[in-house]
Structure 1
Amino acid sequence: MADVVRTRDLRRPVVYVLQTLAVAACYYGAGRLGLLRHLTVQDAVVTPIWPPTGVAVACFLFLGVGCWPGIALGALLVIMSISPPGPDAAGIVLGNTLAPLCAYLMLRRVGFRTDLSRLRDGLALVFLGALTAMLISATAGVGFLVLVDKLAMHGVGLVWLAWWVGDAMGVLIVTPILLMLYTIRRPIGLSRWKEALVVGLVACGLIPLATRSSVSLLFLVYPLLVWAALRFRLAGSMLCALLASVMATIAATDHIGPFRRLSSVEVMMKLQAFNGTMALTALLLSAVITEQRNTRLSVEQACQELAEVLEHLTAGDSPPSRAPTDEGTRPGRRGSV
């Protein structure tokens, strides 16, 4: 028995180290993906969407507070892949670790559910997990860049805004998709696969047209999001939002389509406005639809249970049928001797 307990005690540090390395690897991989497309604002490189923040918030929701070393290690590896780390690296790592940690603590405080089945869960993820918590990472990152004279004071506002929106967009787009993948339990039916294929084909044709056309057709994405949310809820709407966000980011960084002939600041503002409103529409609409569907199912189940109870009560009120006796079925026996 002592050997079993000792073996378990030895496994725990090994499992924790492997978990930390896995979290760091996921964070680093998401960071490298985010750096594939970037914008230059006030001589600073910013990413319209920073996926590592979404990965970090999801890791905290899945694994708890104990995964913070993996987040910090991943953030440090991303910085080292860009340039040799300097004094500002510590502040950036601190901000990128504290921001998702605060998002997790605030979400847990309000009773956040990872299945995003209620409107309040969507609102909490938007206003607490994304918009509020990511103020920490943007302020810490920009502040340390200013302290080490890597960023001039006249460019602080735009860089801070781009940093904040990029981190928030990572939470709004990446975190719901990871939560959705974590909570998937069963595949959809054949008929639903056919409709999903139709939605996918329409998305693959419509989204590139809207994001690469010289005519501003970005508004065409919103009916697609509504259709996907109505039929497939969070899975459909967020996957369409992810595709639209990626295609819009590619068009913006290449200065084509609706982002042609715009300055860097104008491209950043237009892209972030589109990504933000699209992510909010997809997330909140799918949350409302899921909540209404769950409410309807609960009412139907309650009505079914009530009908069963009434049926049993009605059956219990009816008078019991009397079984025929031997005397009643054998006339003349009473008179026989």
Structure 2
Amino acid sequence: MRRSARQLSPVAQWCLIVLGSTACYFAVGQIGIQWAIVRAQISPLWPAAGVALAVPMLLGPRFWPGIALGALLTNVTFGPSPLVVLVISAGNTLGPLLGYAAMRRCGFRTRLARLPDVVLLVVIGAIGGTAVSALIGTGALVAGGGLASTEFWPTALVWWTGDAMGVLTITPLLLLARRFRPPTRIPLSRWAEATALGVCVFGVSFLAGTDPPKTFIVFPVLVWAALRFRQAGALLCSLCVCTFMIFGAARGVGPYGDYELAARMLLIQTFDATIGLTALVLSTVVLERDRATAEITDAWHHITEMVDMIAPRQSMRSAMTTRRKSEEAAD
């Protein structure tokens, strides 16, 4: 059968997907650069790291050139030399691929419907894989003369925590987006609740970033989002809160603005990691509860149907037994 002229060959499809991944990485990389606090390229929130980990998860590891090209285009203007840029891009590619391989070997499922999947995403994806990228990238900058050796660990810390926050906030949203279906017939009360939640999220995000610290007010809203809007709502809320806090910390304002860079990043990233982990774990636990409830309900329906089928036969058998006993008594 002759192939349709409009159908792309496998090579052309691979190229298009790689270019799409490159464009996506580059676009979110430009967003992360706006918050850069070290050499105008190292940000405390690097959403491109979340995209880099999501590419092998959603598309497959064979599309890794999209990550490499995106990292290369993002870093090429910052130098300090072409070799350093290549090494940084290699680290940005190697870290997510190693994290993905380790998570897959441990049985990770991209649906994020189980608590072990969340633990693997946090421990291996957001902590382990990003550490590889941070150490390679910072080491390349020091070796290439773009960074003093005394600044290695503070810079690596900012790099690592920024990548980790990108994975923790962006990767789960991308994994959920694949299963998103536009809702139909949403009640007006549901729209009103979503609007109220959005207003509260922006309000508490602003208040949490003011001095004196009021970070604790975030958690009731986060619980509300997880209980009522499940993973999507909780993750969007955590992304909003983390963005506000990092934006303030990067500019030296808010409750952590008076600390040195390393201490400031440790404090803000500890808080943001707590927010992201709480949102992810709580919403996943709620999802598991919903699934268990649905399974119990289905089992109950099956049992009810079996009882309904057995009851008439049992009644007929009882009637026949009673009639036989009556006849025997009459004889």
Q: TM-score, normalised by structure 2?
A: 0.89
Residue by residue, what CA displacement relative to the aligned partner does 1:270-297 show, whole Å, maximum 9, x if unpaired?
A: 2212211111111111111111221121
1:223-262 matches, within 5 Å, as: 223-262=220-259
> Partner of 2:192 in structure 1?
194
Amino acid paired to 1:67? F
- What is the rounded CA distance, in whole Å, between the counterparts of 2:208 and 2:141 in structure 1? 37
Between stretches 67-76 and 274-283, larger displacement belongs to: 274-283
User: Deviation of residue 149 (structure 1)?
Assistant: 2.8
> Partner of 2:207 in structure 1?
209
Task: Answer whether contact 1:55 1:175 (CA < 8 A) is retained.
Answer: yes
- What is the rounded CA distance, in whole Å, between the counterparts of 2:16 and 2:41 in structure 1? 32
Cα 1:255–1:7 shift into 2, 3 Å: closer
What SS does the aligned partner of 1:142 have?
A: helix
Task: Answer whether contact 1:48 1:271 (CA < 8 A) is retained.
Answer: no
What SS does the aligned partner of 2:76 have?
A: helix
- What is the rounded CA distance, in whole Å, between the counterparts of 2:216 and 2:71 in structure 1? 35
> Partner of 2:3 in structure 1?
4
User: Deviation of residue 16 (structure 1)?
Assistant: 1.3
Task: Answer whether contact 1:79 1:85 (CA < 8 A) is retained.
Answer: no
- What is the rounded CA distance, in whole Å, between the counterparts of 2:29 and 2:78 in structure 1? 10
Amino acid paired to 1:215? P
Are 1:140 and 2:136 matched, yes or no?
yes
- Number of aligned residues: 317
- What is the rounded CA distance, in whole Å, between the counterparts of 1:14 and 1:151 in structure 2? 41
Structure 1: runs of 5+ lacking an equivalent: 323-337
User: Deviation of residue 44 (structure 1)?
Assistant: 7.9
Task: Answer whether contact 1:251 1:257 (CA < 8 A) is retained.
Answer: yes
Q: Decide which structure has the larger Cα Rg and report it.
A: 1
Q: CA RMSD in A?
A: 2.2
User: Deviation of residue 110 (structure 1)?
Assistant: 2.6
1:71-150 matches, within 5 Å, as: 71-83=67-79, 85-150=81-146
Identity, % of aligned pairs?
38
- What is the rounded CA distance, in whole Å, between the counterparts of 1:169 and 1:124 in structure 2? 15
Between stretches 185-194 and 306-315, larger displacement belongs to: 185-194
1:1-337 matches, within 5 Å, as: 1=1, 3-4=2-3, 11-40=9-38, 46-83=42-79, 85-187=81-183, 189-190=186-187, 191-211=189-209, 213-319=210-316
Task: Answer whether contact 2:41 2:75 (CA < 8 A) is retained.
Answer: no
- What is the rounded CA distance, in whole Å, between the counterparts of 2:300 and 2:182 in structure 1? 26
Task: Answer whether contact 1:28 1:75 (CA < 8 A) is retained.
Answer: yes
Task: Answer whether contact 1:39 1:264 (CA < 8 A) is retained.
Answer: no
- What is the rounded CA distance, in whole Å, between the counterparts of 2:230 and 2:302 in structure 1? 27
Amino acid paired to 1:25? A
What SS does the aligned partner of 2:109 have?
A: coil
Task: Answer whether contact 1:39 1:268 (CA < 8 A) is retained.
Answer: no
User: Deviation of residue 108 (structure 1)?
Assistant: 2.1
- What is the rounded CA distance, in whole Å, between the counterparts of 1:88 and 1:44 in structure 2? 15
Residue by residue, what CA displacement relative to the aligned partner does 1:249-282 show, whole Å, maximum 9, x if unpaired?
A: 2211222221333332332222212211111111
What SS does the aligned partner of 2:258 have?
A: coil
Q: TM-score, normalised by structure 1?
A: 0.87
What SS does the aligned partner of 2:300 have?
A: helix
Structure 2: runs of 5+ lacking an equivalent: 321-331
